[in-house]
């Protein structure tokens, strides 16, 4: 087999014309040779080289196909994750809107409660003032009743004494 390779190296060359594709060109020695075994060996080796190239091409194609399928699957997974993340973001934003609404409602209720508490506090203070005033009036009325009671007693007692001191003949 090494002999065939040496023969190919010696007898086969590449075209050096302006054409960019490699074209095998047999040298004049190989073309003139009538040795059928050399030609057959060259054809066999060329066929093996072509089969090797085809095998590598198929392997490369399979590798590229697997790589492309893997990339497509990764893209699908990434797209799925992106959609999931976007849905999570939308849900979070909706939750945030709901929380803001609830917070605003709670703030309104707090302000109303503060206002109601201030009004109740003012009413309580007014009630306490009225109660103190009523207590003071009640105390004063109680004193006045006691004074009237005392005056009545003293006058009745004094009148009764006068009646008992008067002579019976009157």
pLDDT tens over the chain, length 170 residues: 565 556 555 555 544 444 444 445 555 554 444 578 888 989 999 999 999 999 999 999 999 999 999 999 999 999 999 999 999 999 999 999 999 999 999 999 999 999 999 999 999 999 999 999 999 999 999 999 999 988 888 887 777 777 677 665 55
User: Three-class SS of residue 94?
Assistant: helix
Domain boundaries defined on the chain: 34-122+134-159+161-165
Contact 29, 11 (CB under 8 A): yes
Whether pTM > 0.75 for this model: the answer is no
pLDDT at residue 23, as a whole number? 47
Round to whole Å and give the CA distance between 165 and 69.
Answer: 138
Residue 18 and residue 103: Cα distance in Å, rounded? 80
pLDDT at residue number 154: 84
| Residues contacting residue 15 through CB under 8 Å, at least 6 positions apart | 22, 23, 24, 25
* Max CA distance (Å), the chain: 198
C-alpha dihedral sign at 120, 123, 125, 127:
negative
First to last CA, the chain: 182
Residues 45/8, Cβ–Cβ less than 8 Å: yes
According to DSSP, the residues that pair with 13 across neighbouring strands are 25
């Amino acid at each position: 087999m090494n002999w065939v390779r040496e023969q190919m190296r010696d007898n086969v060359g590449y075209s050096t014309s302006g054409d960019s594709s490699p074209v095998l060109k047999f040298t004049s020695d190989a073309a003139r040779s009538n040795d059928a075994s050399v030609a057959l060996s060259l054809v066999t080796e060329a066929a093996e080289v072509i089969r090797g190239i085809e095998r590598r091409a198929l392997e490369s194609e399979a590798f590229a196909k697997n790589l492309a399928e893997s990339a497509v699957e990764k893209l699908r997974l990434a797209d799925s994750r992106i959609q999931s993340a976007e849905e999570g973001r939308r849900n979070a934003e909706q939750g945030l809107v709901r929380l803001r609404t609830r917070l605003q409602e709670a703030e309104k209720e707090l302000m109303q409660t503060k206002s109601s508490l201030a009004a109740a506090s003012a009413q309580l203070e007014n009630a306490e003032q009225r109660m103190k005033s009523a207590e003071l009036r009640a105390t004063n009325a109680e004193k006045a009743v006691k004074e009237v009671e005392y005056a009545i007693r003293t006058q009745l007692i004094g009148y009764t004494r006068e009646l008992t001191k008067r002579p019976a003949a009157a």
